[in-house]
């Protein structure tokens, strides 16, 4: 090697060493295509401005597709993603498999103790926090106050399913494309089965008895699904078997739903005058009960987790810290208003005087506190989870069950046939899994 080339090589190595700390790190984030996550992407310049050595790449997917992609990747240790948007269902299962990085070492100012106990508990395994909640949610009734007034009705703060049915009937005006109620019909364990599982709790149903015997052939499940079909067939929109969260959100914002029972996080979208034609005509109530002591509401958190296969763990932790911090909440409030901040995660948010003025803030917190994942049904159960059963097999089983019920909603089979098939496939899958 010539002296000149030796000097050039030495200079290059010196520069590489001197500037190694500034080398670009790419953090690839898999997230769901809902409004809060899209908003986060829009504000991410705040993060990259403070961290110029980190580049963010986004993979934004529909809910069912996201779940499939991240599950496949993490199970195979694929390393495609550095940050994954996952839910309360996945966290304890994946943490037990050592698939997630502990977040116990996030900075003290991030303030883990500020996270609502109900939300933090679902993301903690053996004292280790494995995901940071971006937003927490339950479910509640969102309804058109103007249509209720026209019908001469008043929505109770804590309605029964009979209250819901009466309101749906009174508000339905199919000639003008106004449907009394919009509910999830799209097949998926996190779509129609999230809603129906929560609803079934209020009808006294359960997925399994204490011996892990499937209960989908019970009278309680038949009552749940038949009531749901009655609501949807008589007062719901056409094509409801393909409607999930986003489709029903669009219908409600267009003024085509009298009521929508779904995630509390939707409240900011239906009351946003930029997107919703009925923004100033929306009221809120707790999810319905059936007089048995359980409401049909769920408990969930979309959270950010770091897979063990990531090669950018420290950069990923910086991003997770930013996106789930009090400072991010303040950033959203400054740019979008307090009604649009990610809800349901921090005690300090519900102690904030500005946020207390948001019309759905109190009802969201009440709904979260109403849900009990340790005792979801009035009957004893061997599992935890309100709108899911916290076992690895549930996602596959409930997806198949959801397909059968969605087919019944589409008129392709009866409720009896759907639940008969659902019971059989659940028994087969649970036996194969060794229960």
Q: Give the model's pLDDT for residue 374.
A: 87
Helix (H, G, I), strand (E, B) or coil at 89: coil
d(CA 192, CA 143): 20
Is there a contact between 130 and 103 (Cβ–Cβ < 8 Å)? yes
Q: Give the model's pLDDT for residue 41.
A: 95
d(CA 207, CA 426): 9
User: Taking the C-alpha atoms of 345, 351, 357 and 360 in order, what is their torsion angle to the nearest 10 degrees?
Assistant: 30
Q: Write down the mean pLDDT value for the chain.
A: 93
Mean pLDDT of 399-405: 98
pLDDT category at 112 given cuts 50, 70, 90 is very high
Instruction: For helices 35-42 and 326-336, give the axis angle rounded to 10 degrees.
Output: 90
pTM of the model: 0.86
Q: Give the model's pLDDT for residue 299.
A: 95
**pLDDT per residue as tens digits for the range 211-231:** 999 999 999 999 999 999 999
d(CA 96, CA 93): 5
**pLDDT per residue as tens digits for the range 165-215:** 999 999 999 999 999 999 999 999 999 999 999 999 999 999 999 999 999
| Angle 242-247-249 from CA coordinates, rounded to 5° | 145
Q: Give the model's pLDDT for residue 13.
A: 37
Strands 54-61 and 124-125: unpaired
The DSSP element (H or E) to which 84 belongs, if any, is strand 83-86
Instruction: For helices 415-432 and 394-409, give the axis angle rounded to 10 degrees.
Output: 170
pLDDT above 60 (res 149): yes
pLDDT above 90 (res 11): no
Strands 300-305 and 132-137: antiparallel
**pLDDT per residue as tens digits for the range 281-291:** 999 999 999 99
Q: Which of 265, 269, 249 is nearest to 257 (CA)?
A: 249
Q: Give the model's pLDDT for residue 1.
A: 43
pLDDT category at 63 given cuts 50, 70, 90 is confident
Higher confidence at residue 321 or residue 1? 321
Q: Tokens for 212, please give them.
A: 């892990």
HSE-CB at 377 with a 13 A cutoff on CA atoms is 25
What single DSSP character describes residue 278?
Answer: T
**pLDDT per residue as tens digits for the range 345-381:** 999 999 999 999 999 999 999 999 889 998 999 999 9
Helices (H), 206-256: 219-235, 245-253
High-pLDDT (> 70) share of the chain, %: 95
Quick one: the chain helix, strand, coil %, rounded to 5? Answer: 50, 15, 35
Mean pLDDT of 425-433: 97
pLDDT above 80 (res 4): no
Higher confidence at residue 16 or residue 373? 373
């Amino acid at each position: 090697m010539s002296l000149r080339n030796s000097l050039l090589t030495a200079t290059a190595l010196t520069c590489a060493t001197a500037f190694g700390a500034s080398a670009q790190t790419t953090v690839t984030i898999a997230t769901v295509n809902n409004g809060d996550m899209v908003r986060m992407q829009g504000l991410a310049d705040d993060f990259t401005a403070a961290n110029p050595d980190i580049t963010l790449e986004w993979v934004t997917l529909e809910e069912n597709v996201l779940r499939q992609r991240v599950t496949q990747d993490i199970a195979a240790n694929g390393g495609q993603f550095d940050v994954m948007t996952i839910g309360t269902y996945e966290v304890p299962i994946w943490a037990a498999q050592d698939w997630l990085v502990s977040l116990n070492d996030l900075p003290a100012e991030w303030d883990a103790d500020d996270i609502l106990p109900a939300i933090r508990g679902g993301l903690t395994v053996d004292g280790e926090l494995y995901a940071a909640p971006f937003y927490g949610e339950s479910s509640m009734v969102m309804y058109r106050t103007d249509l209720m007034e026209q019908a001469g009705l008043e929505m109770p703060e804590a309605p029964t399913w009979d209250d819901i049915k009466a309101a749906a009937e009174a508000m339905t005006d199919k000639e003008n494309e106004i449907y009394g109620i919009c509910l999830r019909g799209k097949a998926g364990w996190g779509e129609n089965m999230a809603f129906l599982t929560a609803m079934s709790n209020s009808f006294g149903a359960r997925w399994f008895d204490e011996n892990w015997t499937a209960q989908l052939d019970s009278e309680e499940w038949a009552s749940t699904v038949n009531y749901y079909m009655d609501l949807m067939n008589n007062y719901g929109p056409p094509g409801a078997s393909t409607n999930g969260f986003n489709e029903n959100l669009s219908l409600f914002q267009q003024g085509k739903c009298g009521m929508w029972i779904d995630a509390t996080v939707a409240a900011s979208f239906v009351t946003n005058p930029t997107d919703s034609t009925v923004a100033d005509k929306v009221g809120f109530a707790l999810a319905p009960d059936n007089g048995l002591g359980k409401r049909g509401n769920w408990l969930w958190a979309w959270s950010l987790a770091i897979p063990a296969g990531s090669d950018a763990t420290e950069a990923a932790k910086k991003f997770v810290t930013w996106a789930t911090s009090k400072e991010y909440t303040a950033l959203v409030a400054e740019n979008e208003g307090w009604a649009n901040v990610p809800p349901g995660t921090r005690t300090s948010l519900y102690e904030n005087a500005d946020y207390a003025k948001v019309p759905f803030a109190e009802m969201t917190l009440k709904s979260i506190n109403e849900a009990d994942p340790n005792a979801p049904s009035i009957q004893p159960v061997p599992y935890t989870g309100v709108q899911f059963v916290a076992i690895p097999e549930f996602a596959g089983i409930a997806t198949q069950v959801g397909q059968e019920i969605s087919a019944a909603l589409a008129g392709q089979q009866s409720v009896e046939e759907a639940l008969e098939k659902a019971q059989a496939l659940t028994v087969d899958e649970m036996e194969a899994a060794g229960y």
